[in-house]
Amino acid sequence: MKKKAFLSKVSGSVLALLLLTCNLVTAAPAEKHSYLVGLMPGASSKALSAPGIEMKEQWDNLGAMRIEASANAAQGLAHNPNVSYVEEDRVVHATSATGTSYTDGDLTWGLQAVNAQQAWNLGASGQTIKVCVLDTGIDYNHPEFNRNGTSVIKASKNFVKDKHRDATDGYGHGTHVAGTIVGQTANSGSRIGAAPNVDLFVARVLGDDGSGATSGIINGLNWCQQNGAKIASLSLGSSQGSKTEQKAFDQAYQNGMLSIAASGNDSGPIGYPAKYSSVVAVGAVDSNFNLASFSNYGAEQEVVAPGVGTLSSVPRGKGKKTSASENGTVYSSHELEYSGLGNVSGPLVDCGLADSTTSCANKPASGAWIALINRGSIAFSDKILNVTAQGASAAIITNNDSVNADDPGSFTLGSAGNWIPAISVSYNGGVSIRAGGLGSANVTVSAWDYSYFEGTSMATPHVSAVAALAWSANPKLTNVDIRSILKKSAKDLGTAGWDSSFGYGIVQADAAVKLANPNIAVKTAKAN
């Protein structure tokens, strides 16, 4: 974040005139920013009182406080003997993006990969465990959060300084994360919740743009502890650490909470808070159990979990569901971000790269038709504008990624607009469509209460849920015990033993439950 200090400048002649006339000159107030200040042991916040500094909130348990001050005033505090450090109240972000759809069964592929059903069969479903999700909030009335007529959300609070009165999700990320942990139904076509019987607590620490402040994370974490949460799930992060935040997570760990956080999506070093030693760092894998191309990795990587093509809940009506077929053959597809809604049937017309408004040479003279477009050369938005100008009612873009030949891709039109329904299919899908000549096709993009996301944000709730399953099998265990169990029960991936890409491996719910309570496994084995 760039800081701007506005300094009034007065010319010498004008200053002289003002002095001669004894007029008062008042400098324009400097822009204020939010800072976190650590106090020396025994120091009082009163010692920080100075012109230009506003005390906003204090964390006695951390020996720290938040102030608003100009950059100069904040820098001046560094020389105060009562101050141990001054740091910016840095910005943190959600760590996900719209993802490619996967073929799921009765359970999402992620729940299958972590053996959630096997853990349920052992009698562990997260019962009695309180899980706190620190994210963008939640859609309170989504059916995934209704258990037998009662909400699974036991408490919620907004920690973002905006106009939200509660923790309503205006972004979608938090609802998706929460659904992966505690989703109740199979309304999407698959069960999405790995620990359906946990009690959910929601701290809204990220705003409607997916970003928030360090101070909000700290306040949310403290609130989670006050409500007795055993697990804090954080699908968010920053490339920059914070001394104040680290103290908050260290203290939460000492107090018995297990914090689990996303490693980040930069294909680089582990981000924060995942990098703190008191936090479990989670990387993401795809359905082939390869490290996701975006996943961060490093010495702090502890475990990995499914984070690509993750189906879960989003605020009602905010997701999109697609279908694509040609001559009766259905192809895996994904909507372009910001695509319009609609159900269009008609002949397919080859528009090549759609790099001009004359690219669809064989379009019909009348009626609805669907543009078939090759990926490449120009922006997706320009392609769609070009075919729309030629009269296309919908569009299919064929991916040019022959390495991941069955991946429809995840593309965007850049911004909201009056777009026609636009989807993408895989490289192999495009080859197949063209192989027999272009026939009649159908493209459907409809509103949905679910969506596919990808990111270490999606891997994190899988791990949080597995931790809850293990803990519910033996509530007497400590957070240190559960952390050790996650590592010991993980299925090794990559280089034998721990490695910087996969950590100890992909979490396994049934193995974790058996380690947490061997007796429960023995009883079930006899019953079978």
Q: 234 forms bridges with which residues in the sheet?
A: 134, 261
Element (H, E) at 76: helix 71-77
221/259 Cα distance (integer angstroms): 9
189/112 Cα distance (integer angstroms): 14
Q: With beta carbons less than 8 A apart as the criterion, state whether 218 and 59 touch.
A: yes
Structure tokens at 398: 């064929």
Structure tokens at 51: 């012109």
428/350 Cα distance (integer angstroms): 16
Q: With beta carbons less than 8 A apart as the criterion, state whether 322 and 335 touch.
A: yes
Residue carrying the six token digits 């192999």: 428
Q: With beta carbons less than 8 A apart as the criterion, state whether 482 and 470 touch.
A: yes
Which is the catalytic residue, given 339, 359, 451, 457?
A: 457
Which is the catalytic residue, given 33, 93, 173, 334?
A: 173
Q: What is the CB neighbour count within 10 angstroms for residue 162?
A: 12
Q: 425 forms bridges with which residues in the sheet?
A: 333, 398
Catalytic residue list contains 173: yes
Structure tokens at 203: 């701290």
Q: With beta carbons less than 8 A apart as the criterion, state whether 244 and 219 touch.
A: no
What is the three-state SS of 447-474? EECEEEEECHHHHHHHHHHHHHHHHHHC
Q: With beta carbons less than 8 A apart as the criterion, state whether 426 and 74 touch.
A: no
Which is the catalytic residue, given 135, 139, 407, 449?
A: 135
Q: What is the CB neighbour count within 10 angstroms for residue 198?
A: 28
Q: Give me Rg for the CA atoms of the chain.
A: 27
Q: With beta carbons less than 8 A apart as the criterion, state whether 237 and 282 touch.
A: no
Residue carrying the six token digits 């970003």: 211
Element (H, E) at 304: strand 301-306
Structure tokens at 385: 């504008």
Burial class (CB in 10 A: 0-12, 13-18, 19+), 138: buried
User: Taking each helix axis from N to C terminus, what angle separates 243-254 and 214-226, rounded to the nearest 10 degrees?
Assistant: 10
Kindly provide the residue ranges of all beta strands, DSSP E only, lying in 184-274, ordered along the sequence. 199-204, 211-213, 231-234, 236-237, 258-262
Structure tokens at 519: 């007796």
400/417 Cα distance (integer angstroms): 25
| Active-site annotation, residues | 135, 173, 457
